[in-house]
Amino acid sequence: MTQRKILVTGGAGFIGSNFVHTLLENKSDISITVVDKLTYAGNFRNLERWKDDSRFLFIKSDIADKEDLFSKLEGHNFQEIAHFAAESHVDRSILGPEEFVKTNVLGTFYMLELARELHSAGKLKVFLHVSTDEVFGSLGEDGAFTESTSYAPNSPYSASKAGSDHLVRSYFHTYGMPVITTNCSNNYGPYHFPEKLIPLMILNCLQGKPLPVYGKGENIRDWLFVKDHCLAIDMAIQKGKYGETYNIGTRNEKNNLEIVELICSLMDKRHPEGAPHNRLITFVKDRPGHDFRYAIDPSKIEKELGWTPKYSFEKAMEETVDWYINNQDWWKEILSGSYESYYEQQYKGR
């Protein structure tokens, strides 16, 4: 069997690390190189279990630093690139958009240039760009995003992702490159950085802290379990059509208050000393330009690639809450701010 040689950017983050686990747990004929800058959101501990596995290599680099990136990746003949690396948090993009433009736009441009070299050398089979449903803007009460929905990004984060999507598209039309873009809805699951709604609420419940709900908690997101997302991405890499985009979601819309109430009830059973956790719900000032509703129509990936989700929302939410309860070292290290030095300790001088 021929070996798949994959480069995963942003593999130390939430979805990227789940993607690495999904592949290494299930495939022996594979070699994965992760390139990651290890920003505040990147955590080498997420990948620690693979550090002595011959199928795995980690390279620390910034995709927005062309010289460093190209020199560190020179001579590696990747056939597949799964591009996850990005600044990903909307609230941070409102406070400081510059890093978003650098990493998401310039960084994606350099990744495409690197891929173009591999393509010219006849090595590259596919460049899979991981994007978001936020590029389509906000929905009203009805309807769902399809692959032909017009772009209308509203935050600096989504605008930078939209810019990267357009660059990816242009490399197909201009250079004939084997690119595919996926646009997914909100993920949840293990290794989710605790600034995002679901992990933040779980950890605040465990610590007896207020649960800050923006506005009235009526905004709607379409929740996708990260393990289902990773399987969909791998399917798009292997079966997707070059130049196409695929929306990924599981028709699972909930408003934010429903999500927070669900977490509270799951915590009441698992952490009875804090019950009732919904007493901690605190309505706070709304996010500026807060998109009201996202919803994905996944018909295309279902029909054309045969993808269907494997996990139920109820079970996957239980698994997620349990993961945070059982991995307190992981999040306590993050909250104490000391995790970044862990990689340096392990790999000094390498």
- Binding window for ligand DAU (CB under 6 A); candidates: 18-26, 76-84, 97-105, 207-215: 207-215
Q: How far apart are CA 130 and CA 232, in angstroms?
A: 11
**Residue 215 — left, alpha, or beta (φ > 0 → left; ψ -120 to 50 → alpha)?**
left
Locate all alpha helices (DSSP H) within the chain, ordered by sequence: 14-26, 66-73, 90-95, 98-100, 108-120, 156-175, 197-207, 226-239, 256-270, 299-305, 313-326, 328-336, 340-347
Pick 225 or 280: Cβ nearer ligand NAD: 225
User: Does residue 20 interact with ligand NAD by CB under 6 A?
Assistant: no
Residues 94-153 that bind ligand NAD (CB under 6 A): 103, 107, 130, 132
Give the dihedral of Cα atoms 192, 196, 201, 207; nearest 10 deg.
70
C-beta of 207: minimal distance to ligand DAU in Å? 14
User: Does residue 253 interact with ligand DAU by CB under 6 A?
Assistant: no
Closest residue to ligand NAD, judged by C-beta, is 13
Residues 118/42, Cβ–Cβ less than 8 Å:
no
Among 6, 20, 32, 85, binds ligand NAD (CB under 6 A): 85
Q: How far apart are CA 146 and CA 124, in angstroms?
A: 28
**Residue 247 — left, alpha, or beta (φ > 0 → left; ψ -120 to 50 → alpha)?**
beta
Residue 14 binding: pick among ligand NAD, ligand DAU, none (C-beta 5-8 Å cut-off by kind): ligand NAD
Q: How far apart are CA 76 and CA 7, in angstroms?
A: 9
C-beta of 61: minimal distance to ligand NAD in Å? 6
Closest residue to ligand DAU, judged by C-beta, is 132
Q: How far apart are CA 3 and CA 76, in angstroms?
A: 14
Q: Any idea which residues carry the catalytic annotation?
A: 133-134, 157
Residue 42 binding: pick among ligand NAD, ligand DAU, none (C-beta 5-8 Å cut-off by kind): ligand NAD
Q: How far apart are CA 56 and CA 33, in angstroms?
A: 6
Pick 154 or 278: Cβ nearer ligand NAD: 154
Among 36, 62, 80, 134, binds ligand DAU (CB under 6 A): 134
Residues 21-40 that bind ligand NAD (CB under 6 A): 36-39
For ligand NAD, the binding residues (CB under 6 A) are: 10, 12-16, 36-39, 41-42, 62-64, 84-88, 103, 107, 130, 132, 161, 184, 186-187, 193
